[in-house]
Amino acid sequence: MPLDPSLILSLLQVKRSEFKGLESQVFEKLRPYRQALLHRSREVVERCKSIELVDEQDSIYAEPLERGDRGWIVKSNLVWQNREQSLQWVRDRLTGIPTFAVDGSQIYPSKDFSLPIAVIQIGWFENFHRGDGDYEKDVAVDLITPNQFAALEKGESLDRLVNRRRLELEVRRIIDYMHVHSHQSSRLVFYDGSLIASFAQTFDRATYQCYLKALRQLLTATQQHQIPLVAYIDTSVAEDTTQMLQRVLGLPPISGVSDPQLLNPLMEWGDRTVLCRCCRPGILRDYQEQANQVTFTYLKTHAGYPVRLELPFWIFEAGLLEQVIDWVRAEAIIGRGYPYAIETADQVTVLRSEDRKLFYRLLQDWAEQEEIPFRLSRKMVSKAHRR
């Protein structure tokens, strides 16, 4: 049966007290933090420089690399009367600057099929920004076969193997692109996700090691080839700035509040925060020679919370930070709040329900032709008949 709207509305009404007042509670908790960013940013920078860390647990989470011109915020001062003016600004910044993004999609193995098999598709999009509308987009496809699934250790997740392979393919495509265009720093590569694999620490060891290896390789490649890389996290739950303020200023501890929540009221479109080196404890010790090479800033690109950008330290060192941030702003303008390159790469690669049905039909026909045992579950057959 379809979802009953009246039941949902009734439940929301019953539980309304659990929702009301949440915003004001968070605001009161964050008031001293926001005041510190506005009025004590110089003190924060100096204290971060002077703190002596005894061990890893004393981490300050974030090391400021520059000063803001309005507290913690670097103002963009970008205001236009209409969209055409903003697009002219984009043309001034991006003409002749290729932007490149990769994304992936997958069809996981299904228990409704007797053959464990998965499909991974990665797609990429490069916009040359030459004024003639020229671009390149393409896809690559890979299969994970029953033998590869059989090699998994007992208890390992089939879906995790698919996710690992997708990550490897996406990162390899970016690294190949950087190799081809080595030392052409007037181009921008987007990575859709974080360069810091904290989220993978709860995964099995094989998956965690896969993320570590891929992200270290990505950081090494951007450094070696001097191709600007920006990891774009549209909805970040990171707390590096909040944790840093708590540690260096002794502010009352708060939990469950992300940096974007803290920063949002202080920012207007185009503004960013000062660039910080990420010093998050735990995870970065496994990054070996890349442990101190990830920096981050928050950028306001739409009406919602600011997005988190993670960049390799060499971009700041080479004096390219402002230029690269402008390229990201320009891409967000084209995409109306989200980088056009990433959005298009996603559209290129996404596997829809029709693609899944086609794959299953091809698999069934091929298995019959090759006389390979292949069975569908009765549940799947029943669903197909009913729909």
pLDDT digits (tens, 9 = 90+) for 211-240: 999 999 999 999 999 999 999 999 999 999
Whether pLDDT at 65 is above 90: yes
Whether pLDDT at 208 is above 50: yes
What does the alpha-carbon distance between residue 101 and residue 89 come to, in Å, rounded to a whole number? Answer: 22
Whether pLDDT at 53 is above 70: no
Tell me how far apart the 2 most distant CA atoms of the chain are, in Å.
74
pLDDT band at 374 (very low <50, low <70, confident <90, very high): low
> pLDDT tens for residues 3-22?
788 888 887 787 777 666 65
Give the pLDDT of residue 22. 59
Give the pLDDT of residue 362. 85
Range in 18-22, 267-271, 300-304 the model is least confident about? 18-22
Give the pLDDT of residue 259. 95
Average pLDDT over residues 30-41: 91
What six digits make up the tokens of 382? 């029943």
Give the pLDDT of residue 385. 44
Residues in Cβ contact with 55 at an 8 Å cutoff, skipping those fewer than 6 apart? none
Mean pLDDT of the chain: 88
Average pLDDT over residues 235-246: 94
**Residue 294 · residue 278 · CB < 8 Å:** yes
Give the pLDDT of residue 186. 96
Classify residue 183 by its DSSP letter. Answer: T
Whether pLDDT at 378 is above 50: no
Amino acid identity, position 20: K
What does the alpha-carbon distance between residue 235 and residue 260 come to, in Å, rounded to a whole number? Answer: 8
Give the pLDDT of residue 381. 44
**Residue 257 · residue 26 · CB < 8 Å:** yes
Whether pLDDT at 158 is above 80: yes
Percent share of the chain, pLDDT over 70: 90
What six digits make up the tokens of 179? 């190799």
What does the alpha-carbon distance between residue 313 and residue 215 come to, in Å, rounded to a whole number? Answer: 14
**Residue 303 vs residues 88, 247, 336: alpha-carbon distances, Å:** 21, 30, 10
Q: Locate tokens 């510190």: which residue?
A: 36
Give the pLDDT of residue 19. 66
Give the pLDDT of residue 56. 55
